[in-house]
Amino acid sequence: MYEKNFKGTKTLITFIIRQQRLKLLIWLVSLVGINLIVARAYPNIYPDEESRIAAFMTMNNPAMKAMLGPGYELEDFLQGVGPLFANEMLLFSAIAVAIMSILLVGQATRGDEEEGRYEMIRALSVGRLAHSSAVLIVNVATNLLLALSIGFGIALLGIESMDIESSLLYGAVLGATGLIFASFTAVFAQLAESARTVTIYSIMTLMIAYLVRAIGDVSNETLSWISPLGWTVNTGVFVENNWWPVILLCTFALLLWILAFYLHSLRDIGAGFIAPRKGKAYASKFLQTPLGFNIWMQKTNIIAWAIGLIALSGSFGAILGDLEVYFADIEIMEAYIDVESNYSLTEQFVALVMAIMTLIGVIPVVMTILKLKGEENRNLTENIYSRAVSRVRVLGSYVILAVIVSIIMQTMIALGLWSGSEAVMEEPLSFQTTFTSAYVYLPAIWVMTGLTISLLGVIPKLTSLIWFYFVYCFVALYFSGLLDFPEWMNDLSIFEHIPQIPIDEMNVIVIIVLMMIAISFTAVGFVGYRKRDIIG
C-alpha cells in the first residue's frame, strides 16, 4: 500500500524542480543576498555603544514591538550587532520566506490541479500521494537550503556576536517558518477548489498570525505564543539561542502535512472539501458585462484583503497612544533621534507605517490585473472573446477594478489607523491628514498598475517581473537607511517620490508627473494587448 500511494515520487520531484527552478533560484538568491548584505553592513551602522543605545531606545516601545517583535535588553545590544540585526531583520525575513513557500506550494498543488497538469500526471503510473509528497520534499529541500545558506553565510562574515550556532539558528528559524506556512497552504489546497482561493486563505493566515503576534507582544505575552510568528521571534537568536521554537515549528508543520496527505487521499481530483457556493440561475445585466463579471469573480479576494488591511492598520493605530508618553520619559532620546520640531514622534511613525502598509496594499491591486493573465494561461479568455466584446473593453474592466481596489485598500489603511488612534489617544490623528497621507500614495500605486498592464500587453511572459520591482521598492523603503543606498538607487523606487504627509509638504507637480507616467504605461499596455496573440 505504501509503495502504491507514493510510486513515482522521485520522478515528480525532478519535474517540480524543473518546473519551478527559475522561481526557486530567484527567491533563494534574493533572500540570502539581502540578509547577507544587511548583516555585513551592521557593524558600520552601529559601530559604538552610543549608536546601539540609540537603537535600543528606538526599538523599545510598543509601536516597534508590534512591528518587529518583543526585542532584546540593552545589555544584549551592547554585546554586539547580532541582536540588533535579529531585531530588525528576523520577522520581515520570516514573512518573506513564508510568502515564498505559500506561492510555491500553492502553484505546485492546487495550481497544477486547476490547470490540468495534475490530471495528466495521475494518468501515468504514479501513486495517489506521490505528487503531494514530491511537493513536500521540494519545499523541505528549498527551506533547508535557504536555512543553511543564510546560516553559514552569516557565520562566514566573521562578525562579532554572530557565531556559528547563532547564525545557524537564524537560518533555521527562517526555514522552519517557511515550512509551517507551506503546510498551511498544503491543507488549504485540499479544502479550496481554486489556486487563488488557496493563496487568499494562506496569506490571510499569515496576516492573522502577524496581527495576533503584534497584539500579544504589546499587551499579552501568552497571546503571542498562539501565533507561529510568535514562535519565530521568541528564539532569542544571537543571545539565548533557543532552538525549541524551531522544533515546535517543524513538528506542527509535520502534523499539518500529515493532515494534508489524509485529506488528499479522500477527495476527488478537482474537488475540495469546501464546496463553492451556488450562484444565481440567471445573471443580472451588470454581471453580464466584463466589469460586472470581473468584480464578481474577484470579490472574495478584495474583501479578504480589505479586512486584513483594516485590522492590521487598526492594530498599529491602537498602540499610538503609548508613543509620546514613552518617549517623553526619556530625555536622552533627544541626543539620538532627529525629531523635527513641528511634528510629533507619533506623526513620524504614522508616516512610516503608512508607507509600509501601502506597499502591502499594492499586492491585491497587482493581483487584480494579473487575474487576466491567469485566465489567459488557462484558456478561459476564449469564453469571453467568443462573444462580441473587444479586448480594450475586457482589459479596461480590469484596469477600472484595479483603480477601485487601490482606493478601497488605501481607505481601509487610513480608516484603521485613524479609528485606532481615536480609541486610545487624547488628541487622535486628524481625519483629514490621515486620509490625505494614504491617498497621496495612489499615483505611485497606479504607476505600479500601469507597469503591470504594459508587461501584460507587450511581454506577457515577463509579467511576473512586477513582483521583483515590488520587492525592490520594499528594500529601498525599509533598508535604504541601513545600507546607505545612493540617491539614484532610492529614486528607482516610485514610492520614494511620494511626499510623506504630514512630515513633507504636498508636491502637486510630482503627483501630476506620476499620474502621467501611470497613464503612459497603461496606454502602452492597451496597445500591446490589442495587437498581440492571445494564448489558446
Angle among Cα 258, 137, 8 to the nearest 5 degrees reads: 95
Domain residue extents for the chain: 1-270, 284-536
**Per-residue pLDDT, 386:** 80
Contact between residue 490 and residue 480 where contact means Cβ atoms under 8 Å apart: yes
CA distance 207 to 204: 5
- pLDDT computed for residue 167 by the predictor: 93
Tell me: cis bond preceding 290? Omega within 30 of 0 counts.
no
Q: What is the pLDDT of residue 219?
A: 77
Length, in residues, of the chain: 536
Place of cell 521568541: 234
Contact 519, 458 (CB under 8 A): no
Spatial separation of the C-alpha atoms in residues 315 and 460, rounded to whole Å: 38
Q: What is the CA radius of gyration of the chain?
A: 24
| Count of H-run helices and E-run strands, the chain | 25, 0
- Give the C-alpha separation, 480 to 469, whole Å: 15
* 439 vs 432: CA distance, rounded Å: 10
Question: Rounded to an integer, what distance in angstroms lies between the CA atom of residue 11 and that of residue 133?
Answer: 11
Per-residue pLDDT of the chain (536 residues; tens, 9 = 90+): 456 777 888 888 888 888 888 888 888 988 898 888 888 888 887 788 887 887 777 677 676 777 778 878 888 888 888 888 888 888 889 998 999 999 899 888 888 887 777 778 777 777 778 888 888 999 999 999 999 999 999 999 888 888 899 999 999 999 999 999 999 999 999 988 788 788 888 988 998 898 888 888 877 778 888 999 999 988 889 888 899 999 999 999 999 999 998 988 888 777 777 766 676 677 778 888 888 888 888 888 888 889 888 888 887 776 665 555 545 444 444 443 444 445 566 666 777 788 888 998 999 999 999 989 888 887 778 888 888 888 999 999 999 999 999 999 999 999 988 887 777 677 777 888 888 889 999 999 999 999 999 999 999 888 888 988 888 888 887 766 666 677 888 888 898 888 887 777 888 899 999 999 999 999 999 999 998 888 75
d(CA 410, CA 534): 33
Neighbouring CB atoms inside 10 A of 427's CB total 10
Instruction: Determine the Cα–Cα distance for residues 169 and 165; give it in Å rounded to an integer.
Output: 6
Longest distance between any two alpha carbons in the chain, whole Å: 73
SS3 for 157?
coil
Residues 6+ apart with CB under 8 A from 203: 99, 102, 308
